[in-house]
Structures are given as structure tokens and as C-alpha cells.
Amino acid sequence: MAATTKMSNLRWQPWWALLAVYLTLFLVIGYIAFIAKDPDIPLMERVNTVTAGTTDAQTKAAIIDIYKQEENEHETKAEIAAQGFHIVLGSLIGFLSASAVAGKPSGGSQ
């Protein structure tokens, strides 16, 4: 009886370790994707703040271009983080559903 309990515990140890890894990834990527965002300051407000003392039109155009590129990169990073979150969520659900199916007794009329 003790050997059976020990074998059963050994069987569940990797499951708990994998679950802990999935949940850690889920929480970290969820935090990165949805909570740890840069503040959304409107583009022209940022440009006006930076170019307050500048009268050169080319300098203002260059600054606007730089801020637009930064905004596009930020959107791309946010999309990648959301995709990563969905991938980890899908793998977590797949892991849990496979665990549920593997835990069912096979055969018989139940």
C-alpha cells in the first residue's frame, strides 16, 4: 500500500511542476501584456512639450516622425505580448484538458 502511494505521488510531482511553470508564464506574460503598459500620452501633446522652444519646421517634422515610429513600435510590442499571452493560455488549457482526459478511467460503462 505504501509503495502504491509513493508511486502515485511520484506521478503527480511532474504534473504540479508543469502546472507551476504554466501558471508562472501565464501570470508574467499577462502582466506584461495588459498591466505594465506605457502611459498613453497623445502624440501631439508629447511633440508640443518637446518642441516648445523650437521654431524650425524641419526639426518639428523630424520629432513628429520619431514619435510616430515609437508609437508604431509600441503597438507592435503590445500585439506580440497579447499573442504570447494567448499562446500560453492555449497551452495551459490544453495541458489541463489533457490532464483531465488522462485521469479518467479507460473502458467500462461509466
Confidence band of 110 (pLDDT split at 50, 70, 90): very low
Of 35, 38, 41, 47, the closest CA to residue 74 belongs to 38
Domain positions in the chain:
2-91
| pLDDT band with cut points at 50, 70 and 90 for residue 105 | low
pLDDT, one tens digit per residue, over 33-64 is: 888 777 777 777 877 787 787 788 888 888 88
Nearest Cα residue to 54 out of 39, 41, 64, 42? 64
